[in-house]
Amino acid sequence: MIHSFTKFKEKLMNYFFLLVATTSISILAMITLFLFKEGLPIFEKVGIKAFIFGNYWYPTADPAHFGIFPLIIGSVSVTLISALISIPLGVMTAIYLSEIASSRLREIVKPVVELLASLPSVVIGFFGMVIVAPFLQDHFNIATGLNMFNAAIMLAFMSIPTICTISEDALYSVPASLKEASLALGATSFETIVKVTLPAALSGISTAIILGLSRAIGETMVVLMVAGGAAMVPGSIFDPVRPLPGSIAAEMAEAPYRGDHYYALFAIGIVLFIFTFCFNIIADYLSNKYRQTGDATL
């Protein structure tokens, strides 16, 4: 009697967790379905190729143009420039923390860097607007400080904490015995870092970079605030751009429900989803690929 009651309770628990798990997963699946359902109709009006590679984004003009190429270029170039800033800074900070800094300093600095990751993006965007934009305007003699470069810097500061902390974990977990082997052969600590520690931590570092960049490419608030918002293919890094997430956020409110503009914005969402999805797949692949297999059988 008692025994079967315990069994019953256990079964009940199992079903409860199953229910919770299926609920959250099915809601996520529904959102994805919804995204495709609301986005795909635009392709009845505009071909996929014209949508992706079209040079003109005039959703409210008559006739309307739904070419998101400038937006894609905006996203990609902002992300690339921010990568050029965040990868070296993030990885080098990680190297400093794990290989050079004293353990006391490391214990102070690492939580601070992690804390940076929790800065709300609206704060970063605000900083870009009121501090960085005027600075750029004054010192580079340009029309507006709200531009691609500003957005790239701000996004870089959003990815650096991710890149730095995950890379640091990867570097720190490289076995001391490998470093010892290198030093014992007469390598300097610098050679050891470059030729042994970094390559051994490569998988973790690549994962860190991809995760950091995927944070930058999906970021909406910052680019909305500081990228300038011009839907054109930029000619210089000081031109304003309109990345994909910023376009959706800026135009959602004014797009008539179930109109072409509305469908087009959801289609942008699909493109963005595919971008970040690929980033995550790559991150997953990289973190599995370089994982060491078969340690010494000792």
Pair of tokens at residue 272: 């963005």
Q: Does 184 sit near other proteins (CB under 8 A)? A: yes
Pair of tokens at residue 110: 């690492």
Other CB atoms within 10 A of residue 202 CB: 14
Q: What are phi and psi of 75, to 5 degrees?
A: -60, -50
| CB of 200 vs other proteins, minimal distance in Å | 6
SS3 assignment, position 102: coil
Q: Does 19 sit near other proteins (CB under 8 A)? A: no
d(CA 32, CA 37): 9
| CB of 197 vs other proteins, minimal distance in Å | 10
d(CA 189, CA 94): 15
With beta carbons less than 8 A apart as the criterion, state whether 52 and 271 touch.
yes
Query: What track of x and - describes contact with other proteins for positions 90 through 129 (by CB under 8 A)?
Result: -------------x--------------------------
* Segment lying near other proteins (by CB under 8 A), choices 42-50, 230-238, 265-273, 289-297: 289-297
Tokens 């942008």 correspond to 268
* Segment lying near other proteins (by CB under 8 A), choices 126-134, 150-158, 159-167, 286-294: 286-294
Of 221, 29, 57, 55, the residue nearest 124 (C-alpha): 221
| CB of 289 vs other proteins, minimal distance in Å | 13
* Binding-site size, other proteins (CB under 8 A): 27
d(CA 141, CA 139): 6
**Between 178 and 249, whose beta carbon lies closer to other proteins?**
178
**Between 49 and 195, whose beta carbon lies closer to other proteins?**
195
Q: Does 185 sit near other proteins (CB under 8 A)? A: yes
Q: Does 50 sit near other proteins (CB under 8 A)? A: no
Binding site for other proteins (CB under 8 A): 103, 175-188, 191, 195-196, 199-200, 292-298
